[in-house]
Chain A
Amino acid sequence: MAELALDIGELAKRYPTGVEALRGVSLQIKQGELFGLLGPNGAGKSTLIHCTTGLAQPTGGSIHVFGHDATGNYGEARQAVGLAPQEPNLDWFLTVAETLDYHAGYFGMPKRERRERTEELLETFSLTEKRDERTRTLSGGMKRRLILARAMMHRPRLLILDEPTAGVDVELRLELWHYVQRINQEGTTILLTTHYLEEAEQLCDRIAFINGGEIVGEGTSSELSERYGVASLEDAYLALVGRKELSRSHAEVVTP
């Protein structure tokens, strides 16, 4: 069996406030997969991502990234992961180019390679003209591009995209989709969370639904629809989160 890109076993996270964000989540993502994690707000998607990247500390279970224990051998595990978080978390003191350069430095990339990689990604994400601007002066779309470029800077083998297309315009969304598909075809494993079911359906090889801190369904889009006896991924999602009444398949056609 090929090495798993991400192997999560019985992961639990209870915050000091007593909130149980994750209740024994198990999830396996194969190398080269484009995997979608869907769920309503507060379902535990971001907590799962934070536990994987070291931003939150699990209270139980295990996480292995390409075989490296993400808590015990965190150096190797984090080196393999690139994170584009949901909320723009850019450093206001840095310019666009510095943001990329510093990030790669945190991951130990030599200066010459950093310089070349920075130029490459500035070009790819149409940020070259903004290279010397401070990050806080960027528009929302530009920030989103920069966050994705930053996540790619150290050439991670597993790229985690936490709602990368939230609040972006149609062109940028399509650009991001193309980019994500391209790097996936080049071999990067991708874990994508999104609220856009159409996005998950089009991009992802497999999908997992998370609700209330538990994985409640997993498979390909058609497997999930079949399993729940519904016509679309959206209906499967609504069935899983207990909101079948919102299904558009049952909507009455109103004639004028």
Chain B
Amino acid sequence: MSAAQIRFATLWRREVNRFMKIKKQTLGAPLLETFLYIMVFGAALGSRIKHLHGIDYILFVIPGLIMMAFSTNAFANNSSSILQQKFQGAIQDQLSSPASPMELLLAFSLGGFMRGLMVAVITFCISVILVGLPVDHVLVLIPSLALVGFFFSQLGVLTGVRAEQFDDVSFVQTFVLQPLIFLGGVFYSAALLPQPFETLTRFNPIYYMINLVRYGFVGFSEVSIALSLLALTAATGALFLVNLRLFSQGYKLRA
């Protein structure tokens, strides 16, 4: 391995090591949360609703839950890891190393991506075993989930870098992401909503992400797949470029 490869692998390993050391909180809690949703919305509510657009309600809900688990964990990991390191001053060890802004950004991003991916994969495996979750369009599913994970990893990095106190992170999580995810159609179809809520839902970017992932799993979507993939790619790319610029400028990282 070259010095640059060793450096990047170590930066990335530090991020994975952090969440693996507190597994109960970083992997156990989100898995429990996801299964409580499956129990409540799938088993309890599903026995009354049965089908949505011809799909078992539980199978309609699980793709959204997987997407939600991936995104919230990717976001939470990166935002809190960066803020904690800023608080402790420990981030100075990485910042005073020869690592480039690109290496630092990618390593911080991939930590959260890995945590989100692990929660999503475990949820997926158990869903396959318990309710026979299908994968109808794997070529849409994989890029969609990868883009969703990377988008929220970037958003977590941005929030962590900008944040000056833990309240700043929880504000974004509680008052921005949570409502957007819940109102993005994880548990219902937008077509069932009365106006103006149906139209309003179409302004929610997370609605398109949920539909992409749902299409990948069960083959149903309320939106154009190609257009949504294109928009998500553009948004993820734009966010990455914003972060790269902030890292290059040392914004709130270097005095």
Residue among B7, B22, B88, B95 making CB contact with A107, cutoff 8 Å? B7
Least CB distance from A121 to B in Å reads: 15
- Determine the residue in chain A with the shortest Cβ distance to B104: A106
Segment of B11-19, B35-43, B122-130, B147-155 in the binding face: B11-19
- Which residues of A, 72-111, contact B by the 8 Å Cβ criterion? 74-76, 78-79, 81, 83, 85, 87-94, 98, 102-103, 105-111
In the complex, A50 has a CB within 8 A of chain B: yes
Bound-state Cα–Cα, A15 to B17, Å: 35
| B93 with A91: CB separation less than 8 A | yes
Contact across chains for B100 and A75 when beta carbons are under 8 A apart = yes
Nearest chain B residue, comparing its CB with the CB of A99: B93
Interface size on B, residues (CB 8 A): 32
Per the bound structure, the CA–CA distance linking A75 and B3 in Å amounts to 11
Closest-CB distance, B123 to chain A (whole angstroms): 25
Q: Given A56-B254, A105-B13, A150–B6 Cβ distance below 8 Å?
A: no
Interface flag for B255 (CB, 8 Å): yes
A53 interface contact, C-beta 8 A: yes
A76 to chain B: which residues have CB within 8 Å?
Answer: 98
Interface contacts (Cβ under 8 Å), in number, total 90
Instruction: Please report which residues of chain A, range 26-79, place their CB below 8 angstroms from some CB of chain B when the two chains form the complex.
Output: 47, 50, 53-57, 74-76, 78-79
**Cβ 8 A contact of B6, one of A79, A83, A110:** A110
Are the C-beta atoms of B21 and A93 separated by less than 8 Å?
Answer: yes
- Nearest B residue to A49 via CB reads B96
Q: B97 an interface residue at 8 Å Cβ cutoff? A: yes
| A81 to B9 CA separation, bound complex (whole angstroms) | 21
Chain B 203-242: CB-based contact to A (< 8 A → 1; otherwise 0): 0000000000000000000000000000000000000000
Task: Name the one of A90, A92, A93, A108 contacting B98, with C-beta atoms under 8 angstroms.
Answer: A108
The distance from the CB of B82 to the nearest CB of chain A, in whole angstroms, is 13
Given contacts A83-B96, A90-B88, contact A56 B3 (CB under 8 A): no
Between B7, B88, B98, the greatest number of chain A beta carbons within 10 A of the residue's beta carbon is seen for B98
Residues of A within 8 A of B1 (CB): 110
Residue B89 lies at the interface, judged by CB distance under 8 Å to chain A: yes
A105 close to B7 (CB less than 8 A): yes
How long is the Cα–Cα vector from A141 to B246 in the complex, in angstroms?
36
B85 at interface (Cβ–Cβ under 8 A)?
yes
B245 CB to closest chain A CB, in angstroms? Answer: 14
The reply to whether B93 and A106 form a contact with Cβ atoms under 8 Å apart is yes
A50 closest partner in B (C-beta): B255
Place the interface of chain A in its size category.
Answer: 35 or more
CB-CB contacts below 8 Å: B12-64 with A: 13-14, 17-18, 21-22
B99 within 8 A of A: yes
How far is A109 from B3 in the complex, measured between Cα atoms in Å? 7
CA distance A105 to B10 in the complex (A): 5
Partner of B99, one of A53, A83, A98, A106: A106
Q: A75-B100, A91-B85, A91-B93 are in contact. Are A57 and B255 (CB under 8 A)?
A: yes
Collect the chain A residues with CB atoms within 8 Å of residue B100's CB: 75
Does B4 have its Cβ within 8 Å of any Cβ on chain A?
yes
| Contacting pair B255 A56 (CB below 8 A) | yes
Interface residues of B (CB under 8 A from A): 1-4, 6-7, 9-11, 13-14, 17-18, 21-22, 84-85, 88-90, 92-100, 250, 254-255
- 12 A-B pairs within 8 Å (CB atoms) are namely A47-B255, A54-B95, A87-B89, A89-B88, A89-B92, A94-B17, A102-B10, A103-B93, A105-B10, A106-B94, A107-B3, A109-B6
On A, residues with C-beta under 8 Å from B are 15, 47, 50, 53-57, 74-76, 78-79, 81, 83, 85, 87-94, 98, 102-103, 105-111, 150
The 10 closest A-B pairs by CB, nearest first: A108-B3, A105-B10, A89-B89, A106-B97, A91-B90, A56-B255, A75-B98, A53-B96, A78-B98, A108-B6
